[in-house]
A and B are shown apart, each in its own frame.
Chain A
């Protein structure tokens, strides 16, 4: 069974920069896995941030960016704001099948 792995938790200071990663048990993540990233705050539905590795939605703040880094998909937050404290999930496509990572709890402290 395919497993997608994210850091369970990360802490960043306001104004700082943090990178979250998303790894596949099948090997290096490439653009062909079409990584998507989501933000979820307590009691809310997930909100899409990044699609197809690095593309932003119209509502995605400019401080969020997606990339491939060292064989993983990556989500970088630059100039972190207190409101960025949330759970972040990646999802990878294996053909039509999608597999979520376990999520990263980002604390802004």
Chain B
């Protein structure tokens, strides 16, 4: 059974760095073809892809946010970590992680709401 769970702070202050962790089970990120992506969804708005990390440690970032994002994995802990620097109130959103098998999405986490406010 594949599960993913996002964790991190519910509230961050402007200019701070956000660190989110996706903890998963039911698969290994060292298996060929396995990938994990991060997404976000501001309240009432559309989904936005943020970053992806692959089994071979290839990494991809949203063009508009790549200067602020870093994605990494700890295969032994079954975790993927996303950091986003210089947080702003417009970054308030529910942040999700999801598993991708090369090109195919299947399982998503339930999401974690992050509010950026002083």
Contact = CB atoms under 8 A, between A and B. Distances in A.
Main secondary structure of the interface of A (DSSP, over half): strand
Interface residues of B, number: 25
A93 B35 CA distance: 13
Interface of A: 1-2, 34, 36, 38, 40, 45-48, 51-52, 55, 57, 89, 91, 93, 95-103
A52 B103 contact: yes
Given A1-B63, A96-B60, A98-B37, A89 B107 contact: no
A89 B49 CA distance: 12
Interface of B: 37, 39, 46-49, 52, 54, 58, 60-64, 96, 98, 103-111
A38 B105 CA distance: 9
A45 B109 CA distance: 7
B104 A34 contact: yes
A103 B52 contact: no
Contact of B105 (A1, A2, A36, A102): A36
A97 B62 contact: yes
B63 A57 contact: no
